[in-house]
């Protein structure tokens, strides 16, 4: 499949067959997430894979009873770190920053003004959460290339999702929930506005 064909074949799948996803395909999908870029290369995220039947049922409840979550053999949940972890002087940013070829202090002084700007606007946590969206897009398109469908889900109760993962709201914010599996329904045609409507060239 070309990239365009994968984009065209992916659709928001609401019903999945019983067929399991092979481990190597799951690892490939996760690799697409891992290789996704993050702002300042900080990778302040994690990807949780939910396969356990009882956890899948709890996730279904946390997603307001969306059938896609129940019928899919697994869901991947993308999470972002909360504000304290984004501190330029904190251990996580320092560890991440120290991986780059330049000096850590140069890295931190590059990052600090943007951190201060986001903090001043009260946007730090949404910045962290939004990083996961890029990973989701890559994992979904990459999965379609393997014949595996998915559905981006923003409709969830964050407290319930964190509780079933055993995570603390002080540490993590939920970015998105994505069920993955082989489709148990016919692909719906794309409904999209035209490029003429969407694109403004300057
Ligand atoms: C950010 C985001 C949140 C979404 N949340 C949900 C959701 O909670 N439940 C759902 O069934 N679909 C959800 N969708 C799927 C969209 O409704 C769907 O992708 C859109 O209608 C386009 O259809 P297509 O993906 O088949 O091209 C979401 C999609 C995005 C991008």
**What are the pLDDT digits (tens) for 2-12?**
999 999 999 99
Q: What separation in Å is there between the alpha carbon of 157 and the centre of ligand 1?
A: 16
Record the tokens describing residue 147, joined without a space. 């014949």
Q: What class, spelled out in words, does domain 3-198 have in CATH? A: alpha beta
Dihedral Cα 94, 100, 105, 111, nearest 10 deg: -70
Helices (H), 35-80: 53-62, 67-71
Ligand 1: lining residues by beta carbon, under 6 Å: 11-12, 14, 66, 151-155, 188, 190
Q: What separation in Å is there between the alpha carbon of 191 and the centre of ligand 1?
A: 12
What is the atom index within ligand 1 of the atom nearest the CA of 133? 1
**What are the pLDDT digits (tens) for 65-114?**
999 999 999 999 999 999 999 999 999 999 999 999 999 999 999 999 99
**What are the pLDDT digits (tens) for 143-194?**
999 999 999 999 999 999 999 999 999 999 999 999 999 999 999 999 999 9
**What are the pLDDT digits (tens) for 23-40?**
999 999 999 999 999 999
Task: Provide the residue ranges of all domains of the chain, joining segments of one domain with +.
Answer: 3-198
Helix axes 158-165, 53-62, angle to 10 degrees: 160
Candidates 7, 11, 12: which one to mutate for ligand 1, based on the most atoms within 8 Å of Cβ?
12
């Amino acid at each position: 499949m070309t990239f365009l064909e994968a984009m065209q074949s992916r659709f928001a799948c609401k019903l999945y067959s019983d067929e399991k996803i092979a481990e190597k395909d799951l690892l490939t999908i996760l690799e697409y997430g891992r290789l996704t870029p993050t702002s300042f290369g900080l990778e302040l995220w994690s990807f949780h894979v939910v396969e356990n039947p009882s956890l899948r049922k709890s996730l279904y409840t946390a997603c307001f009873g969306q059938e896609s979550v129940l019928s899919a053999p697994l869901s991947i949940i993308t999470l972002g770190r909360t504000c304290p972890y984004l501190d330029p002087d904190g251990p996580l940013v320092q560890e991440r920053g120290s991986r780059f070829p330049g000096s850590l202090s140069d890295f931190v002084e590059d990052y600090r003004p943007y951190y201060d700007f986001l903090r001043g606007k009260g946007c730090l946590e949404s910045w962290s959460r939004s990083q996961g969206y890029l990973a989701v897009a890559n994992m979904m398109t990459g999965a379609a290339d393997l014949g595996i469908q998915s559905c981006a889900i923003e409709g969830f109760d964050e407290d319930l999702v964190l509780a079933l993962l055993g995570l603390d709201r002080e540490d993590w914010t939920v970015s998105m929930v994505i069920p993955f599996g082989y489709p148990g329904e016919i692909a719906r045609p794309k409904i999209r506005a035209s490029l003429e409507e969407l694109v403004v060239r300057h």
